[in-house]
Amino acid sequence: MIWVIHVLNGIAIGMLLFLLAAGLSLIFGLMKILNLTHGSFYLVGGYIGLTVMQRTGSFALALLAAAAAIALLGAVIERFVLRRFHLDELPQTLLTFGFLFIFADLSLWIWGGDPVMVRQPRILAGSLPMGDYGYPIYRLFLIAVGLVVAGALWWFQEHTRLGTMLRAGVDDAEIARALGIDVSLLFTLIFAVGAALAALGGVLAAPILSLYPGADFDALILAFVVVIVGGLGSLKGALVGALLVGLLDDFGKAFFPQFALFTVFVPMAFILVVRPTGLFGRR
């Protein structure tokens, strides 16, 4: 039974990682931007969710508000700042880095430095008895949410016009533009969606992992590890990478506690040596 719990744990954390990494991967795949502000989207999204939760008591509203607010923020950043440096990678990266620092400081200013946890919605609180142990229902909920989001993103990518345009844009932006696809609008949209995913991750993670100054960097690093393992630009890569990292992290901590910090980096280092573009990355 204890094995089942460890596996569930790995998958639950993996789903959180997926939400985080999917956005980063999508943004890079289409726009070739390494969005370092992604960590801020996670943290600020989480904090916004916290504030909404405190005012209204509704977790669903918190999720919605955070996703919407951060999507807007992302769209504005992309449209008015990043767009200026189209295809110039270093300036874009530097800008997103600058924003990461700015948002880190602002969130410390606004929400303070004490770590905070969003209260779990009552229906999801409590644990499912599993033999001698109990497993948190909320984490099972996370697994469900992750699967739903993954499914939705996949369906969007494969079966909608927008998704087809996205795939075309990823393959070759210039040709896509030549074919009449409004690539600029697509860019803004995808950036916003990626940001919203990170924000969702932040709100969903808050009840268990808490929000604290520095969570943006921690999240960013984990997202990086996942996309390096899974491959940039691939949704499948983000999912597989996230699950792999989540499981390895849990089992690593449980059975090799002295290497607890490294269990996250080991798969990454391995992939870098063996297959630098990641499991499902494109060259």
Partner 1 sequence: MTGRIGSIVVCVVFVALMLALPHMVRPYYVGLATKMIIFALFAMSLDLLLGYTGLASLGHAAFFGVAAYAVALLILRAGVGGWIAFPAALVASTVTGALVAVLALRARGSYFLMITFALAQVVWSVAFGWRSFTNGDDGMPGVARPNFGWSLEGTDAFYYFVLAVVGCAALLLLAIVKSPFGRALRGIRESETRMQALGYDVWRYQFVAFVLAASFAGLAGALYAYFNRFVGPEYLHVIQSAEALIMVILGGAGTLVGPAIGAALIVFLEDYVSSLTQHWLLVLGSIYVLVTLFAPRGLVGLIVDYRQRRFEP
Partner 2 sequence: MTTTKTIPFGMTIAPYAATSLARRRVLRSIATAGAVALTLGAPGLAAQADDTIKIGILLPLSGNFAPNGQQALTGMKMYFDEIGNTAAGHKLELIVEDTQGKPDVGVTKARKEVERDGAQVLTGVVSSGVALAVNDYSRENKVPLVLSGDAGADELTMPGPLTNPYLIRTSQNGRSVSAPAADWAYKKGWRKVTIIGSDYAGGVDTNHAFAQAFCALGGKVIQEQWPPIGTSDFGPYLTNLDRTADAVVTFEPGADGLRFGQQFSEFGLKGKLPVLDIYGTIVYEPNLPQLGDGALGIYSSLFYAAMLKTPENDRFVAELKKRTGNLPSNEGPNGYTGARAIADAITAVKGDLTDTMKFMAALKAVKFPSPKGDLSLDKYGQVIQSMFIREVQKVDGQLANVPIATYANIDQFWPFTEAEFAEYKYSYKELKGSLTDCGKLLAKK
Where on the chain is the footprint of partner 1 (CB under 8 A)? 28, 32-34, 81, 84-85, 89-91, 93-95, 97-106, 109, 217, 221, 224-225, 227-228, 232, 259-262, 264-265, 268-269, 272-273, 276-277
Contacts to partner 2 from residues 229-258, by CB under 8 A: 249-251, 253-254, 257-258
Cβ proximity of 119 and 53 under 8 Å: yes
Enter the tokens of residue 12.
């639950």
3-state secondary structure of 213: coil
Phi, psi for 135 (deg, rounded to 5):
-115, 130
Per-position x/- string for 200-229, each x denoting binding to partner 2 as judged by CB under 8 A, each - no binding? -------xxxx-xxx---x-----------
Q: How far apart are CA 193 and CA 41, in angstroms?
A: 11
What are residue 211's DSSP bridge partners? 116
CB of 235 to partner 2, least distance (A): 20
Q: Choose between 93 and 164: whose C-beta lies nearer to partner 1.
A: 93
Q: How far apart are CA 253 and CA 256, in angstroms?
A: 6
Phi, psi for 182 (deg, rounded to 5):
-75, 85
CB of 41 to partner 1, least distance (A): 15
Q: Choose between 164 and 210: whose C-beta lies nearer to partner 2.
A: 210
113 binds partner 2 (CB under 8 A): yes
260 binds partner 2 (CB under 8 A): yes
Q: How far apart are CA 191 and CA 187, in angstroms?
A: 6
Q: Looking at 3-11, 59-67, 158-166, 234-242, which segment touches partner 2 (CB under 8 A)?
A: 3-11
Among candidate residues 97, 101, 65, the one with its CA nearest the CA of residue 81: 97
Residue 37 site contact among partner 1, partner 2, none (CB < 5 to 8 Å, cut-off depends on kind):
none
**Is the alpha carbon torsion for 70, 74, 79, 82 positive or negative?**
positive
Cβ proximity of 103 and 44 under 8 Å: yes
CB of 228 to partner 1, least distance (A): 6
Enter the tokens of residue 81.
């700042």
Q: How far apart are CA 199 and CA 46, in angstroms?
A: 6
Residue 239 site contact among partner 1, partner 2, none (CB < 5 to 8 Å, cut-off depends on kind):
none
Among positions 122, 129, 159, 180, the unique one binding partner 2 when judged by CB under 8 A: 129
Q: How far apart are CA 171 and CA 169, in angstroms?
A: 5
CB of 73 to partner 2, least distance (A): 23
Q: Looking at 55-63, 119-127, 182-190, 225-233, which segment touches partner 2 (CB under 8 A)?
A: 119-127
CB of 152 to partner 2, least distance (A): 25
Non-local (6+) Cβ contacts of 260 within 8 A are: 252, 253
Point out which residues bind partner 2 (CB under 8 A): 2, 5-6, 9, 12-13, 32, 87-91, 94, 105, 108, 112-117, 119, 126-127, 129, 132-136, 138-139, 207-210, 212-214, 218, 249-251, 253-254, 257-258, 260-261, 283
